[in-house]
Amino acid sequence: MTALRDHTTLFSDLRQESRLTAEDVLAGPRRAGRPVPPVGPRGSAPAGVPEVRPVAAPPTDRPLEEILRRRVSIRDYAERPVPVEVIAAALATAFRMDREAWPQDWEDGNGLGVLVAARRVAGLEPALYRADEDGARLVPLAGLADGRAAEEMVLQIEYAASPVILAITGSLSTALARHGTHGHRTLLARASGLAYAALVRSAAHGLVGSVFAGFLQSGMRPLVDLDGYRQRQLFAVSLGYPVPEPAAP
């Protein structure tokens, strides 16, 4: 009974703390202080893997209504490599939408980041990259495992061999300092919005994919400095080209 009371008290306190008063609304978000540095490598960057500055693919004329009507979640992909220009376009669109929706958070150092796990991307060596300058600069951070080791890095193993995974990162400590007990919720809402924006823009260029939970914290920690609090992975999207339909007999 003591344990049950403790849990009841905990949830009651959390519910009370998460309620915004009229004074809270008028005061608005708090200043979060010094921005948290971007995600960096645990060790040396992979040898022979250069930094890349891709040129984003131009917009297509494919209607948004058609993209949304035809979109389905895909886990199996063709062997065809994904052009880095399409990834750059997806990142640019996704970052722009988050900046427009949360301008004060970006000014206060509460921006989002993206890690690009590139396995079959034309224009990129297979590696884990950090998307800087809203995707206009891809900085290699670490190599990528294959086979069983790759499966142990993701929560859902069917995505382990994806041609490319965009993993959204953010600072829980900064979000909590700025938004209080609403910080985690707002961070997840923003991460999901960024992932879906990247997915829709990619679909306009013929890619398919699915959002998913992403990488395990334990799987990423040996590669990059994600401590789960100052920086953590929040959400992810898997992308690639669809498997061609079998030829009619």
| Residue located via tokens 């799987």 | 219
Confidence of residue 27 (pLDDT cuts 50, 70, 90): very low
Look at residue 45 and tell me whether its pLDDT is greater than 60: yes
* Model confidence band, residue 4 (pLDDT cutoffs 50, 70, 90): low
| pLDDT at 32 exceeding the cut of 60 | no
The domain limits of the chain are: 74-242
Q: In what order do the strands lie in the sheet with 113-118?
A: 137-142, 127-132, 113-118, 164-170, 232-240, 208-212
The CATH code that applies to domain 74-242 is 3.40.109.10
Residue 26 has a pLDDT of 44
Identify which has the larger pLDDT, 74 or 58.
58
Q: How far apart are CA 46 and CA 184, in angstroms?
A: 32
Cβ contacts of 124 within 8 Å, gap of 6 or more: 52, 84, 116, 118, 138
113 vs 44, higher pLDDT = 113
* Prediction pTM value: 0.87
Give yes or no for residue 213 having a pLDDT over 80: yes
Q: What is the pLDDT of residues 166-211, one digit of tens each?
A: 999 999 999 998 888 889 999 999 999 999 999 999 999 999 999 9
